Structure 1
Amino acid sequence: MPVLIAVVALVGTLCTLNLVLTLGVVKRLREHTELLGAVQGDPVSLEVGAEVGEFDTSTVGGEPLVRELLSGPVLFGFFSPTCEPCKDKLPRFVEYARREPGGRSSVVATVVGDADSASGFVAELGQVAHVVVEDPGGAMGTALGIRAFPSVLRADRDAAGRLVVVDDDVALSRPTTLTA
């Protein structure tokens, strides 16, 4: 009988310890959920309706690229070679950009990182877009308020002639729409 009492006491103690640890894990998960909610609440780029800032840069091919040269709808993509989700999204972006109504002239892709590590991205993107390679905080990223990678957005001229964001999260799985 004393052995049975000891076993029951041990099982009771283990159950109590398990309950305390489980409550601690639940508390931590709630804290992490709040932290992630705060991060997800921050926009990762300019929001719809915001004007694209000034930029003056050049593509990897040496072509000048300034805001005033962009006339119609423009698809912008921002990638980083050190970002795993960027590597996954890159082929979908290239395929989507290939079907853009304005062709290569209406697509601008920015690779954030050093030229050596960006070379693979540049080779793929160069087929369908004007490609810019810049350091973090560069002209393109600043002009479009980019805070996370990958980011894909679309801008167009409004009635006043300003280049504004019309879609701040382009769904690459949807087909592009041809405008008449």
Structure 2
Amino acid sequence: MLIGGISVLNLLLTMAVIRKLRDTASTGAGRAAPPDLPELPAGSRMPSFHGEAVSGEIVSAQTTAGSAAVFAFFDTGCSACKPTVPKLIEFARKNALPTGQVIAVVGDNDGNASEYVDELGGTATVIVEETMGSMARAFSINSFPAFVIAGADGVVVRSGHGGGTLAAGIPA
């Protein structure tokens, strides 16, 4: 008798858990946004940085101040990076961002950055540097692809790895 009662209780609890999981999945509740980069979480100040674009333009905290911006970090040796480039381009187009507000940093130790430069040209200000170069170090990037979205006030709005970071719009 005791075993039968425990079995019925176990069955009822299991059914309640399954119902709750189905409700959560259908409403979208519990679906977390991609986590922020621990080194640059939302609400933190943008780091001091300085880089030179392939066009010769200098990119720094001062040149991007006063405008919202997205910083994308790729590496030519990263297999997950190439598929996120179109997501960055689409993000820039949807948010009508000029090239000065879309900064793409390409780590390149093997001389293959031209593919990225060609694809991102006209959409982003592209900086090519050695893997884990000065820009990546300034932003504490330790893996690729990585994205940092900053507001015009110089505060990080969102950061993370992968194209999911670009799912929401950019602040005005």
Name the TM-score class by shorter chain. 0.5 to 0.7
Q: CA deviation at 1:67?
A: 0.7
Amino acid across the alignment from 2:169 = T
Amino acid across the alignment from 2:40 = L
Structure number, greater radius of gyration: 1
Tell me how far apart the structure 1 counterparts of residues 142 and 171 of structure 2 sit (CA, whole Å): 30
Higher helix proportion:
1
**Percent of aligned positions with the same letter in both sequences?**
30
* Count of residues paired in the alignment: 135
Contact 1:52 1:143 in 2 (8 A): no
Amino acid across the alignment from 2:133 = G
Correspondence 1:174 to 2:160: no
Q: CA deviation at 1:127?
A: 2.1
Which residue of the partner structure matches residue 141 of structure 1? 136
Correspondence 1:90 to 2:85: yes
Paired residues for 1:112-151 under 5 Å: 112-114=107-109, 116-151=111-146
Query: Could you give the per-residue CA deviations for residues 136-178 of structure 1, whole angstroms, max 9, x where no partner exists?
Result: 33221122111110011201243xxxx2211113736636368
Structure 2: stretches of 5+ with no match in the other structure: 1-34
Question: Cα RMSD over matched residues?
Answer: 2.5
Query: Could you give the per-residue CA deviations for residues 84-131 of structure 1, whole angstroms, max 9, x where no partner exists?
Result: 110121122122222233322211000011372111011111220000
Task: Detail structure 1 runs of 4+ shifted over 2 Å in the superposition.
Answer: 41-45, 98-103, 169-179
Correspondence 1:57 to 2:51: yes
Contact 1:109 1:130 in 2 (8 A): yes
